[in-house]
Structures are given as C-alpha cells and as structure tokens.
Structure 1
C-alpha cells in the first residue's frame, strides 16, 4: 500500500526547556523537509499553553516515514536531544479519509 501517511505529534516541553526544543526543531524541520519522501513538515505552538507544540508531518508512504524515523538526524535530534526535554509526547498516524467514497456508498 503506497498511500501518503500523516503524523501528528503533540509535545509538551518541560518547564524552562521550550527554547532549547525550538532551536533543535529548527534544524530537525529543515533536515526533515529535505528528505525525499517528505511532503511537508510544519510545527505549531499552542496558544493556550506555549509549552505545547504540535508537529504535522506528511510522507509519501510508510516507507518514507520509516526512512524519516531511522534517519541520522531524527535519531540524533529527536531521540538523543529532544525527547529528554519533553514532559509528555503523543504521536498519531493517519491516512486521508476519502469522504466522496463514503457519500457514494449511501
């Protein structure tokens, strides 16, 4: 199955670590956007809680997502440096829901 896959990540930074995470995210986003299978990589900051960040990433298929997770920059920046600065981390993977197909089935 070669369908695009979207990753939605919610990161809660440890108090006092937001700026460090933001700096690491700058490098991570740049390198991730350069990956062959990356379609987009966008980072958002919560209005209600500035320590909460959302990452919206899209890859052309599951293989591209696997390549991203196994990349040297992901392992170094996310696993090695960012995760220790997070109080909580939640990740959801999703595929497009074709609403036209649902409507035609009725």
Structure 2
C-alpha cells in the first residue's frame, strides 16, 4: 500500500434552501472526522459568489485512512444518508501532494 498522504477535494452544489441543514450536519461530521486516527485535516469552504457551493478539503495519512473514513459510521449516517440527498451535484477528487 502506498504510504503517501492522500488529500480529498470535494465540490458540492447544495440544493436551494438546504444550505443551513447541510452546514449543521457537516459541523457534526467534521467534529467526528477530525478525531479519526488517520485524519490530518478536514475543512469546509464556501464560494464567495455562490453560497450554495461548498468545498471540502480533507487530508489523510494514507489510502487506508481514507478507506477507514469512508467506512465509518458517521460518514455513512451523516454524509451519505443525510447530506448527499440535499445536493444538486457532488464531485470528489483524491489527490497526492506533488511538492
């Protein structure tokens, strides 16, 4: 298994009128995610021109840590089951740092 840090860039387009609930849910998801053993960072950003566009930037020690995150109960219960249905669009990119 490659031991390089893995970074996640996720761009979400939140459905109109659903931003407040998504942000509340993501606050809870972040609180739990940063406690994961392999988590390096977990931040949310909001587009200045379109408040319904949210960018998540996450860092993990390696691919195993990403997999553990994606299999965690809080990820499944909060993000997949509650947040994803409130999104118009969701793009996720896994990245390795070059320099």
Give the distance between the partners of 1:91 and 1:6, measured in 2 at CA. Answer: 10
Give the distance between the partners of 1:44 and 1:79, measured in 2 at CA. Answer: 19
Paired position in structure 1 for 2:11: 10
Alignment of 1:1-106 (within 5 A): 1-98=2-99
SS of equivalent to 1:19: helix
Q: How many aligned positions are there? A: 98
Q: Which runs of 5+ in 2 are unaligned?
A: none
Q: Which runs of 5+ in 1 are unaligned?
A: 99-106
Which stretches of structure 1, 4 residues or longer, exceed 2 Å deviation after superposition? none
TM-score (norm: length of structure 1): 0.91
Looking at secondary structure, tell me which structure has more helix per residue.
1
Q: CA RMSD in A?
A: 0.5
Deviation at 1:74, TM superposition (A): 0.1
